[in-house]
């Protein structure tokens, strides 16, 4: 049955290939939507699926108004499924081999200016435990370009060299060590040394760095909420800010100050330099603005 083969693929994706939880969840949603579409066409077995079935599914997604990015991801999910099934000889031929690729529209990442970023972070300057924690969280996200999932999984033992370095467990369980700037290191050391105990309530078994008022590790949604609250307090629209925007700011601001693109790739934990190169387009847009503003013939 197709549904059984999808579950087999998702298990292989998670346990054999070490894919991140978010990737597995996204692929699961995409492939269940695919299975539902095929079921309405009377296809219940993987071996019955044809290239025309897959093309019809992608066409229906476009007609429903799905974005190019979503369609590209769903194409990748279907390709990966049948690649896995063909490799295991569950299907005799891969129906995606001659399928046209869905091109993903390339969009520039949202970034705040340096002034906006500093205004948001520096606006959290109290000695209340919540202020100390939130300041350390913002400084850490911006100071080393962490993903929100990496921040939620960040543990005390991952802070090394007196807070000058942090160990980050990224996608696919790949580990990288990233230096913290002095401002981020000060904020993190202050939080761990003073305010964190207020939230952990003396629970020595809790090793996550950032915990909620209930003494539990943060969820992604909890981090989003704090960042948007702090942005609003600094006069920045909440829809312009997220944990990933701070990651983008980390990369693009470093590039603007002359950092090497390959160094940024290592710090962000990108497997492919092409993923990191999008920040050169962000910087190029800034150069264009300067040219238009200052060149006498612009």
Q: How many CB atoms are located within 10 Å of the residue 255 CB?
A: 19
Torsion of CA 15, 19, 21, 22, to 10 degrees: -150
- 279 annotated active-site: yes
Catalytic residue among 14, 41, 167, 244: 244
Sign, CA dihedral 273-278-279-280, equals positive
Catalytic residue among 133, 247, 248, 253: 247
At what angle are helices 21-40 and 2-11 packed, to 10 degrees?
170
> DSSP letters along the chain, please?
-HHHHHHHHHHIIIIIS---HHHHHHHHHHHHHHHHHHHHTT--SGGG--HHHHHHHHHHHHHTT--HHHHHHHHHHHHHHHHHHHHTTSSSS-TTTTPPP-PPPP-PPP---HHHHHHHHHT----SHHHHHHHHHHHHHHHH---HHHHHT-BGGGEETTTTEEEEE-GGG-EEEEEPPHHHHHHHHHIIIIIHHHHHTT-TT--BSSB-TTS-BPPHHHHHHHHHHHHHHTT--GGG--HHHHHHHHHHHHHHTT--HHHHHHHHT-SSHHHHTHHHHHHHHHHHHHHHHH-TT-
Catalytic residue among 133, 147, 196, 248: 147
- 291 annotated active-site: no
Catalytic residue among 29, 51, 171, 220: 171
- 244 annotated active-site: yes
- 133 annotated active-site: no
HSE-up (13 A, CA, CB side) for residue 192: 21
Q: How many angstroms separate the CA atoms of 255 and 283, rounded?
A: 7
Residues with active-site annotation: 147, 171, 244, 247, 270, 279
């Amino acid at each position: 049955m197709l549904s059984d083969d999808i579950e087999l693929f998702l298990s292989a994706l998670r346990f054999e290939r070490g894919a991140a939880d978010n990737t597995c969840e996204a692929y699961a949603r995409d492939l269940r939507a695919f299975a539902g579409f095929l079921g309405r066409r009377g296809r219940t077995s993987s071996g019955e699926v044809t290239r025309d079935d897959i093309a019809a599914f992608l066409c229906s997604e476009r007609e429903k108004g799905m974005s190019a990015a979503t369609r590209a991801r769903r194409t990748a999910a279907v390709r990966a499924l049948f690649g896995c099934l063909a490799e295991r000889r569950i299907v005799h031929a891969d129906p995606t081999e001659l399928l046209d690729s869905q091109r993903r529209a390339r969009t520039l990442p949202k970034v705040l200016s340096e002034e906006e970023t500093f205004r948001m972070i520096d606006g959290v300057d109290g000695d209340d435990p919540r202020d100390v924690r939130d300041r350390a969280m913002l400084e850490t996200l911006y100071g080393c370009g962490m993903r929100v999932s990496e921040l939620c999984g960040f543990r005390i033992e991952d802070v090394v060299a007196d807070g000058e370095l942090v160990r980050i467990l990224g996608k696919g369980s790949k580990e990288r060590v990233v230096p913290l700037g002095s401002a981020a290191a000060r904020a993190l050391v202050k939080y761990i040394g003073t305010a964190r105990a207020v939230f952990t309530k003396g629970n020595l078994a809790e090793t996550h760095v950032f915990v909620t008022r209930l003494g539990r590790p943060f969820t992604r949604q909890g981090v989003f909420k704090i960042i948007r609250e702090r942005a609003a307090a600094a006069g920045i629209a909440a829809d312009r800010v997220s944990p990933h925007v701070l990651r983008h700011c980390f990369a693009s601001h470093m590039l603007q100050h002359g950092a090497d693109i390959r160094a940024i790739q290592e710090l962000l934990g990108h497997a492919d330099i092409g993923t990191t190169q999008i920040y050169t387009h962000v910087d190029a847009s800034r150069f264009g603005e300067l040219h238009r503003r200052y060149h006498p013939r612009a």
